[in-house]
A and B are shown apart, each in its own frame.
Chain A
Amino acid sequence: MIDFIRQHRSKHPAVIDTDRNQVLSYETLYDQMEQIALAIRHLTRDRTLVFLHSSATSDFLILYLACLFNRDPVCLLESGLLEATEKLLAAYHPNLVLSPPGMSIPEGYSDAGRIPGTCYNCAVPKSNPAPQKLHQDLALLLPTSGTTGNPKLVRLTQKNLQANAQSIAQYLDLSPDERSIQGLPMHYAYGLSLVNSHLVAGGTIVLTRWSFLQAEFWRTFDAQRCTSFAGVPYMYETLDRLAFDPACHPSLRTMTQAGGALRPDIVRRLGRAVAKAGCRLFIMYGQTEATARISYVPPQLLQEKIGSIGIPIPGGRMELAELEATEGLKELVYFGPNVMMGYATSAASLAQADELHGKLFSGDLARVDNDGFFYITGRLKRFAKLFGRRISLEDIEANLESSFTVRAAAIEADEHLSVYIEGGDSSDADRIRQYLASWLQMSPIAVTVKPIERIPMTCSGKKAYPALLVEAA
């Protein structure tokens, strides 16, 4: 990644922070990153684990790159999730925590002032930190379930980042005149992949604090002559509801969608509008475990392949593996240089080498058609994808069972979270609903909590989720 920025060193804009009216050329970006990397090294002395809270600013981007430059493994976190951050701090004890203004110093840490030239504050452990064993290849850590604070992190290397960024730049055909608006948070794998792929292509990243729902966002998009927009399903559903017309944005060339399945009727409608405006729509699939991207649908085949996750990205390969004891069901397996080293669950696992060797069992059930296009048909893992966020359903159950005197079973259906509780009445259900919505930062409308006499169980003593899914439908 860093090599690319070095190669692209020129007056060409790398980052435009529109809220600050600031344009950073590749040259300036490189110089600032180098200086900040030095400042961090001055603070930490040795290679160290860094927690970095995200914000839609050039400071965040430079700090992220400075950590890569220093080869400091960096964990990217959503800002403002205090409980979740505390759990991760307790599991990993980083020697440096970087936060944008307005965030408090975590317990057990003391304020070490500003990182010069940025608005970020740093916090260091109060007591002398124990030396950490960090694998030499470890570069980036991303949470698997950010809002619940699950300590399970995805371990990624610089090679993972670079390989995935290059594949993306290749199939999207990115060039230095690409300008991508950052409407997705950068701590999120998809959001970060926009940054990485544009940096390897020598393109420009446009940052804004506005949300895609606001007129200011699209005014910025037009004023900066942005060429692409990236969104997760709920964003496209919203744009569809708002009768978004790609033809109204003359500089727009490409729209990309990932982060879950988008409703087929919207894909069809948007696909037509985008083609009419002379633009391209990429429907894509990926996982944090594969850095970000795994597959995409070539835009010229979109209308024929509605509902498909497409074909593997350049350098990747997809296969279907038979599952034991389940007839006809097959799991999607991905092979590629962007497959993570493995998961981390505690500080000790940061020393571990690559465990997967480029082979990832996706946890998704799939089929493939005669043209080699893949379709997701189900999910083996117990997590929900709600509004672009991945949330562990097991975390939800565990939290409710320890916070309330109930047994809980959580399922997801159509961007809706349904929780069944055994041992509570309707007033408990209402309290739990408000609690969940606030904890997961969702609208209570997207959460249902139902008291149930008994949670159905399978004969092997597990919660019988299929029965609940039938009940929810």
Chain B
Amino acid sequence: MSQTKLARCFAEALGIQEQAVTDELAYQTIKEWDSVRHMALVAIIEQTFNVMLDTNDIIAMSSVGKAKAILAKYGIDCDAA
């Protein structure tokens, strides 16, 4: 369920289809994921999961897989059913 939640965050912030959100999807590999939209993504993830990401997390969040790993640090399991 969280997986869908995270996919929805990406879809909404970047303006892409939810199906396009895979673990491998990475920053700057599609034109929709640029620095402007990255910050929109950060904002929606913080809002959705009620977390406050720190500087290193924002910079390190360079793929969907990494976003999951970062959220896991905050006790959020995106792959849980």
Write the residues of chain A forming the contact surface with B, with a CB cutoff of 8 angstroms. 80, 211-215, 234-235, 237-238, 241-243, 387, 434, 437-438, 441-446
* Contact residue among B13, B28, B59 (Cβ-Cβ distance under 8 Å from A443): B13
With contact pairs A211-B34, A234-B36, A238-B35 given, residues A445 and B44 touching in the complex (Cβ less than 8 Å): yes
* Residue contacts A-B, CB under 8 angstroms, 16 given: A80-B31, A211-B28, A213-B39, A213-B58, A214-B62, A234-B39, A238-B35, A242-B58, A243-B55, A434-B15, A438-B32, A441-B32, A442-B37, A443-B36, A443-B40, A443-B41
The reply to whether B55 and A443 contact each other, CB–CB distance below 8 Å, is no
Q: What residue of chain A has the Cβ atom nearest to residue B33's Cβ?
A: A443
What residues of chain B lie closer than 8 Å to A80, measured between beta carbons?
31
What is the CA–CA distance of A237 and B38 in the complex, to the nearest angstrom?
A: 13
Cα–Cα distance between A14 and B43 once the two chains are bound (Å): 39
A-B contact count (CB 8 A): 55
Verify A213–B40 contact, CB threshold 8 A: no
Q: With an 8 A cutoff between CB atoms, is B24 at the interface?
A: no
Chain A residue, CB-CB nearest to B53: A241
A243–B15 Cα gap in the complex (Å)?
Answer: 27
Chain A residues whose CB sits within 8 angstroms of the CB of B59 once the complex forms: 213-215, 242
> In the complex, what distance in Å separates the CA atom of A211 from the CA atom of B33?
12
Q: When the two chains form their complex, are residues B15 and A213 in contact, meaning their CB atoms are under 8 A apart? A: no
Mostly helix, strand, loop or mixed at chain B's interface? helix
Whole-angstrom distance from the CB of B20 to the nearest CB of chain A? 13
Determine the chain B residues whose CB is within 8 A of the CB of A212 once the complex forms. 35
CB distance from B47 to the nearest CB of A (A): 10
In the bound complex, CA of A80 to CA of B31 (Å): 9
0/1 interface trace, chain B 1-42, chain A, CB 8 Å (1 if under) = 000000000001111000000000001100110111111111
CB pair A211 B35 closer than 8 Å: yes
In the complex, the chain B residue whose C-beta lies closest to that of A447 is B15
Which bucket holds chain B's interface residue count? 20 to 34
Task: Establish whether residues A241 and B58, one from each chain, have CB atoms under 8 Å apart when the complex forms.
Answer: yes
B40 touches A445 (CB 8 A): yes
Query: Measured between alpha carbons, how far is A238 from B14 in the docked complex, in Å?
Result: 17
Q: How far is the CA of A212 from the CA of B35 in the complex (A)?
A: 8
| B residues near A437, Cβ cutoff 8 Å | 15
Determine whether the beta carbon of B35 is less than 8 Å from that of A441: no
List 8 additional contacts besides A214-B59, A443-B37; criterion CB under 8 Å.
A212-B35, A213-B39, A238-B39, A242-B55, A442-B36, A443-B14, A445-B12, A445-B43
Name B's A-contacting residues (CB within 8 A): 12-15, 27-28, 31-32, 34-44, 55, 58-60, 62
* B58: nearest chain-A partner, CB-CB: A242
Give CA–CA (A437, B13) in the complex, Å: 10
CA distance A241 to B55 in the complex (A): 8
Contact (Cβ within 8 A) A387 B36: yes
The CA-CA distance from A214 to B60 in the complex, in Å, is 8
Chain A residues whose C-beta falls within 8 Å of the C-beta of B39 in the assembled complex: 213, 234, 237-238, 241
In the assembled complex, how far is the CB of residue A360 from the closest CB belonging to chain B, in whole angstroms? 29
Q: Chain A residue with minimal CB distance to B44? A: A445
Chain A residues positioned under 8 Å from B60 (CB to CB)? 215
Scoring B15, B32, B42, B59 by chain A CB atoms within 10 A of each residue's CB, the highest score goes to: B15
- Cβ contact within 8 Å between B43 and A213: no
What residues of A have a CB within 8 angstroms of the CB of B43 in the complex?
A: 445
Contacts of A213 in B (CB 8 A): 35, 38-39, 58-59
CB distance from A140 to the nearest CB of B (A): 26
Which B residues touch A237, using CB under 8 A? 39
| Max chain B C-beta neighbours (<10 A), residue from A241, A441, A445 | A445
CA separation between A253 and B39, bound complex, in Å?
A: 26
Q: Which residues of A contact B32 (CB under 8 A)?
A: 438, 441
Residue of B nearest to A444 (CB): B15
A387 to B14, CA, bound (A): 15
Shortest C-beta distance, B4 to chain A (Å), equals 18
> In the assembly, what is the distance between CA of A446 and CA of B37, in Å?
9
Hey, which chain A residues are within 8 Å of B55, CB to CB? 242-243
Q: Bound complex: CA of A213 vs CA of B28, how far in Å?
A: 11
Contacts of A241 in B (CB 8 A): 39, 42, 58
Alpha-carbon distance A277/B62, docked complex (angstroms): 30
9 closest A-B pairs by CB: A443-B40, A437-B15, A211-B35, A443-B37, A445-B40, A387-B36, A213-B35, A242-B55, A444-B15
Q: A213-B59, A242-B59 are in contact. Are A444 and B35 (CB under 8 A)?
A: no
In the docked arrangement, what's the CA distance between A241 and B41, Å? Answer: 14
Considering the complex, give the chain B residue whose CB is closest to the CB of A434.
B15
Contact A445 B36 (CB under 8 A): no
Residue of A nearest to B36 (CB): A387
Chain B residues near A387: list those with CB within 8 A: 36
Shortest beta-carbon distance, A340 to chain B, in Å? 27
Q: Identify the interface centre among A213, A387, A442, A444: most chain B CB within 10 Å of its CB.
A: A213
User: Please, which residues of chain A bring their CB within 8 A of the CB of B31?
Assistant: 80, 441
Please give, as numbers and ranges, the residues of chain A lying within 8 Å of B44 by CB-CB distance.
445
Q: Which residues of A contact B27 (CB under 8 A)?
A: 214
A242 to B43, CA, bound (A): 13
